[in-house]
Amino acid sequence: MAERQYPLGRTRNIGIIAHIDAGKTTTSERILYYTGVSHKMGEVHDGSTVMDWMEQERERGITITSAATTCFWRDHRINIIDTPGHVDFTAEVERSLRVLDGAIGIFCAVGGVEPQSETVWRQAAKYHVPRIAFVNKLDRVGADFFRCVDQMRERLDAKPVLLQLPLGQEETFEGVIDLVRMEALRWDDETLGATYHTEPIPKEALAEAEQWRERLLEQVVDFEEALMEQYLETGTLSAEAIEGAVRQATLELKAHPVVCGAAFKNKGIQPLLDAVVHYLPSPLDVPPIKGLNPRTGQEESRLADDEAPFSGLVFKVMTDPYVGQLSYIRVYSGKLDVGQTVYNPIRERRERIGRLLRMHANKREEVGAVRAGDIAAAIGLKQTTTGETLCDEKHLIVLETMEFPEPVVQLAIEPKTKADYDRLGVSLAKLASEDPTFVSRVDEESSQIIIAGMGELHLEILVERLLREFNVEANVSRPQVAYRETVSASASAEGRYVRQTGGRGQYGHVVMELEPLGRGEGFVFEDATAGGVIPREYISAVEKGVREAMEAGVFAGFPVTDVRARVVDGSSHAVDSSELAFKIAGSMAFKEAMRRGGVILMEPVMDVEVVVPEEFLGEVLGDLNARRGQIVGTDTRAGARVVEAKVPLAEMFGYATVLRSVTQGRATHTMQFASYEEIPAPIAEAVANRTWVGVDRKRTVA
Ligand code: GDP
């Protein structure tokens, strides 16, 4: 076996998490540039960024995919896993947090800690991801390094450990002061910041630097008591001792090292990379991955070791215009070779690894194998979708499955021609394999295609891709709330589909009981018939019929959920029974039982958080009340009021605009799906009577 070029200890799998506009794209690009992978430095404003390679991402200037890019720094391999910043992509963020070992949080020195960075930071905490912080944009007017650090402490519960101070600020920002080695760093403009030099800390900045150095040393001896003696005796600590103690505290989530700079001005990037190497974990520093053996239900774990049985997680599937479908895999244990056959324990299928690619910023590199702790993209997987495990067939393991939130917003697409219709079908299937938070179905009555996703922006991006990438012409409705139907009480009904007038007839007969399930429990199908009154092969036809009826809904055309359907009786005919007849009978029984039990219409309700200055609190509360909102609580955070409320999604469309005008742009809000809840009767009536697949404000996109 060839010597491994980068041992596990010198691998870093990291993500960059940030609020939109904090400078994630700019920082990522500078990282790729300085690590020598990127040939030219693209700027966000001229659209030639390296990471944002999907056309529309460039236009929007936001990063929505989570691919992995490899670069090298000081003899370490760094895999950067892209994490989207917008809350509509919560599932993508969670998915990327699962496979990375550490993260950089980027904060804007002017805007400070925004609600969205708060969401992602908390998600990272939930997955026990060690983090370092980069305070960016120190060159901008209004930049305030210390305010930003205070906000991290107050709003994020972070434990900042300042390793640097800015040298100057706003228009006088010149470089950084390194508190570990007590020196100043300045970047050379001629090389676009590729080179920098160290010099003594300028006199006027020395007093403040010494004061913060003192704080740093106190924190360090607090982390590692063994250093106390050295500190008391000499009054100082070596750089190595500081780095070692801060590393350990960071890995234990007791510290968040803070460095700073201005990515756009090419300042601060190399020390940030040094911090990644110094303080963020290698795959060896994180606990062994856990999972379940699907046969025995026993917990299993895998060490990050090349010799262990292979296990890996497919965390992103995407279509690449040149090589086809790419499946990004994080290998947790063992080794994955080109040509090897691995096993997908969820689908119970074998998969062959056709090729393996490592993705750099501007090129793809074919590799023969990937080992424990590493990340690469595989070509040739046919059955495996995002979030599924691959493993050694003799050593089964299903890594912790990810939960995907409910799609709560939907819209209708009406392809213009038959050819468009066909193309749309193919592209929808492709998109669904890339993105498990997106679903599509055909509305029986209108033959329109309904797609549902996590939010307005999510759907808008999907539609753009469908129409553009796959060249489909269609009319598109505006996004609307994805309602659901369920049954209010248990009921049973009979479905009979019998046609026996001459020749071969049809005979299907089913008796079914329906029962409401708890919110979010989905659908359960049971066969409780005895004595083979319905032959086995027709039971699955009955289930199919029920599922189809559920998709189309019974009351107002919305999908049915949270029900248990139990087939309790029925009969069959030796000649006339068929799958079709039982499918129809199943669907009839289901619809009738729904009607008898009483149909409830449900709507998605969101957890909404609004951060607003005190003076506008009254307006915001009043407005939320008018939106059928339920105020859960109010709090004070860093001088602003924080309102938490539960509000039906239907009332939240266009909220950002209203909030802006009511508060003169001084409030921010975030929202996340909470649950499906019953709609009050008068509103349910209105929803049911609306031809919701709106033709109003229809957009035509060529
Ligand atoms: P993202 O949304 O987090 O990816 O942020 P971008 O990297 O796209 O940056 C948002 C905007 O801030 C762009 O116009 C950048 O040019 C600008 N920007 C990024 N970093 C800095 C910085 O250090 N200083 C200044 N003045 N502007 C910056």
Of 409, 453, 405, 403, the closest CA to residue 428 belongs to 453
Lowest mean pLDDT among 169-173, 254-258, 558-562, 661-665: 661-665
Q: What is the pLDDT of residue 65?
A: 42
268 to each of 50, 195, 299, 437, 661, how far by Cα in Å? Answer: 20, 11, 44, 37, 37
* Rounded average pLDDT over 264-285: 95
Distance of alpha carbon 304 from alpha carbon 310, whole angstroms:
10
User: Torsion angle of alpha carbons 98, 100, 104, 106, nearest 10°?
Assistant: -50
Looking at ligand 1, which residue's alpha carbon is closest to its atom 25?
Answer: 137
Smallest Cα–Cα separation from 78: which of 277, 218, 261?
277
Evaluate if residue 370 carries a pLDDT over 90.
yes
Give residue 5's pLDDT band: very low, low, confident or very high (50, 70, 90): low
133 contacts: CB under 8 Å, gap ≥ 6: 104, 105, 106, 107, 152, 158, 160, 256, 257, 258, 259
pLDDT at 377 over 50: yes
Q: Which residue has the higher pLDDT, 470 or 401?
A: 470
For a pocket test of ligand 1, which of 264, 266, 267 has the largest count of ligand atoms closer than 8 A to its C-beta?
Answer: 264
Ligand 1 pocket check: which of 17, 19, 25, 26 to mutate, most ligand atoms within 8 Å of Cβ? 26
Beta strands 289-292 and 324-333 are unpaired
pLDDT at residue 702 is higher than 60:
no
What does the pLDDT average to over 68-88? 80
pLDDT the model gives residue 98 = 83
What pLDDT is stored for residue 116 in this prediction?
65
pLDDT at site 403: 61
Average pLDDT of 52-75? 58
- Least reliable range by pLDDT among 18-27, 286-295, 339-348: 18-27
| 58 band by pLDDT with thresholds 50, 70 and 90 | very low
The yes-or-no verdict on residue 90 having pLDDT over 70 is no
The pLDDT tens digits for 460-483 are: 888 888 888 778 888 888 888 889
Residue 56 above 90 pLDDT? no
Q: Cα(421)–Cα(414) distance, rounded to whole angstroms? A: 8
**323 pLDDT above the threshold of 60:** yes
- Can you give the pLDDT at residue 42? 46
pLDDT (average), residues 586-602: 95
Which tens digits make up the pLDDT trace of 135-177? 999 999 999 999 999 999 988 889 999 999 999 999 999 999 9
- The owner of tokens 């120190």 is 138
Token look-up 């041992």 returns 7
Q: Which atom of ligand 1 is nearest to the CA of 43?
A: 16
Amino acid identity of residue 157, one-letter, is D
pLDDT in tens, 93-144: 777 788 899 999 999 999 888 766 777 787 788 788 999 999 999 999 999 9
Span 556-571, average pLDDT: 92
Over residues 542-546, the mean pLDDT reads 95
Residue 514 has pLDDT above 60, yes or no: yes
Distance 23 CA to ligand 1 centre (A): 4
Under the banding of pLDDT at 50, 70 and 90, the label for residue 43 is very low
| Summary mean pLDDT of the chain | 85
Percentage above 90 pLDDT, the chain: 50
Distance 694 CA to ligand 1 centre (A): 38
Q: Which atom of ligand 1 is nearest to the CA of 262?
A: 23
The pLDDT score that the predictor gives to residue 134 is: 97
